[in-house]
Structure 1
Amino acid sequence: MLGAIVGVGMPWWNRKPEERAQWVLEPLVGVGPLRFGMNPDQVASALDGAIAYISQGMGSGVGWGCYSDWGVTAVYGEDFGLVAVAIDAMDGPLVRLQDVELIARVPSEVRSDIHGLARREGASVRVNWSGDPEVAAWGVSMGAAQELGLSPEGYAQRQDTMITHALLVGPELAEDPYGSKPVIQWCDVRDREPNPGAWPVKAEQDRTHWDWTPLESIGPLRFGMDPQQVAAALNEVPAARQGRYPFGEPWEGPGEWMLHHDRFDIAGVTAHYSCGRGWPPTLGAVTVHGRTGPQVDFDGIRLIGMSVSAVDAALIQHLEDRERGLVIGCGGDLGPGGLNMYVRATRAGDTMVSEARFCQADWEDHG
């Protein structure tokens, strides 16, 4: 069932909340004008001829297309049929399931409403990979993203709040939405640390303090260390590590596995490595985790575990006062020019807290 359709084609910064499309979810059947099983042409027609500005595999069966004007991503199965619809937090349609509004709301409030509806309906609620509610009986898997706003000058700026988005799936994916092949092709979360649904933040007085020498070292870690030296400096075994086999010609075989990063949960940091075919991994960057990591200062600005908007504002003012350049990373992260440091944001339940990535001079950060 399709509710009011207004405001389509406008970016979020030009669209008022009341101008967003309003859709109704029919569990395991469809949402708004979209029905599971539609082919890409039918989806485009249902979206008033919308174009998938970003897509992959659309001509091979399993694939996906992002309809940016609608804030919707359509995911297709092997028979070219629509199997999942992802609704963007900032500019996707406002989706309602009975009396529960699912999109662009405070995550804990949506979670409470979903549990209440599930009790009335006799449905089971579980926690998905991101720590948000998932209900197989409805084909609903919730998530959350950082809210964005506009500065007085009209620029997009990060907020300290999280708002909800959702992945809505048909019956064939309902039991494991993010574990299904079509969804993995669109958004592979298998290497991400699963969240149990809690986001404890270490108190300031319980954090150690690390010194930072730009482009050279952070705390006990010096750029160029090998993984064994990093673990020894932290006196900790990695809780998790991620890497891949290099891409090569088929006759070359998979090659030697390349380490990308190690996560250290006690220290509250992730070590990122430079490596490639023929050279071993060396430390190229360190992310200090916002919820659990040590405190690090930049010219008196505390960077870790703070309000993201406050750190952004302090950093911008500091650099303007000194007529220094501001660098914006690919994920919207801010940093001082020439120092290869980026203030990042991480979720803490309904809010965001700041963290930071410190890099060596030749490290190219891609988020």
Structure 2
Amino acid sequence: MIDGPPSRWFCDALEGNTLMWTAVDDAERPQWDLVPYESVGPLRFGMSLEDLAAVAVDALRGPQVRVGGVRLIGRVPSQLEEEFVRYAEGRGLEQWCLSESEPQSEELGLLVRVQRAADVLLTRAFFVGDFQDWAYTLHDCVPRAELDFR
């Protein structure tokens, strides 16, 4: 884990310390499962924290979240996309991509995003609880800060 304020991370990076860009190995990550619209690992949608409605998982240091055996976090985007499409098609789930070619599934409450890890992009994920009472689409649930995150 990185110690100190973000300004220290930046100074370390200037001095050649690339720790802030290093992704944790999959074996070192907590292993979580997605139960669509119910939970992501131990986090249950609506469990307080202002009625938890969404969860964003960091590509570099977040837990590995699986849906049906498909690893979602810290992957090369093209490899995850190929595996996710096979998973979704095999279950008759509708899936589609945003303008940035990021796959999503409203049936799973899942939006796959990318995050910079030094000179490569790795996958991160954004999950939502049942949004039918307060948003029209999954994309409507995503805060601006998440859409701007890279």
TM-score (norm 1): 0.31
User: Between Structure 1 and Structure 2, which shows a larger proportion of helix residues?
Assistant: 2
Query: CA contact under 8 A between 1:285 and 1:358: conserved in structure 2?
Result: yes
Query: CA contact under 8 A between 1:211 and 1:219: conserved in structure 2?
Result: yes
| Alignment coverage as a number of residue pairs | 122
- Could you tell me how far 1:329 is from its partner in structure 2? 4.2
Q: Which residue of 1 aligns with 2:3?
A: none
User: 1:161-310 maps to which residues of 2 (within 5 A)?
Assistant: 196=10, 197=13, 198=18, 199-227=21-49, 281-310=50-79
Q: 1:221, 1:330 → 2: CA distance?
A: 29
Q: 1:309, 1:318 → 2: CA distance?
A: 14
Of 339, 346, 349, 2:118 maps to: 349
Q: 2:28, 2:123 → 1: CA distance?
A: 16
Q: Provide structure 2 residue ranges, at least 5 long, that are not aligned to the other structure.
A: 1-5
TM-score (norm 2): 0.71
User: Between Structure 1 and Structure 2, which shows a larger proportion of strand residues?
Assistant: 1
- Could you tell me how far 1:225 is from its partner in structure 2? 2.4
Greater Rg, structure 1 or structure 2?
A: 1
Query: CA contact under 8 A between 1:225 and 1:283: conserved in structure 2?
Result: yes
Letter in 2 for 1:346: Q
Q: 1:305, 1:295 → 2: CA distance?
A: 8
Query: CA contact under 8 A between 1:327 and 1:337: conserved in structure 2?
Result: no
- Could you tell me how far 1:220 is from its partner in structure 2? 1.5
Query: CA contact under 8 A between 2:45 and 2:54: conserved in structure 1?
Result: yes
Provide the alpha-carbon RMSD of the alignment: 2.1
**Inter-CA distance 226–348: structure 2 relative to 1 (3 Å threshold):** same
Q: % of aligned pairs identical?
A: 31
Query: CA contact under 8 A between 1:212 and 1:296: conserved in structure 2?
Result: yes
Q: Provide structure 1 residue ranges, at least 5 long, that are not aligned to the other structure.
A: 1-192, 228-280
Query: CA contact under 8 A between 1:333 and 1:343: conserved in structure 2?
Result: yes
SS in 2 for 1:211: strand
Structure having greater relative contact order (Cα 8 Å, sep ≥ 6): 2
Query: CA contact under 8 A between 2:29 and 2:64: conserved in structure 1?
Result: yes
Letter in 1 for 2:118: G
Q: 1:365, 1:327 → 2: CA distance?
A: 16
SS in 1 for 2:122: strand
- Could you tell me how far 1:332 is from its partner in structure 2? 4.0
Of 317, 327, 334, 2:86 maps to: 317
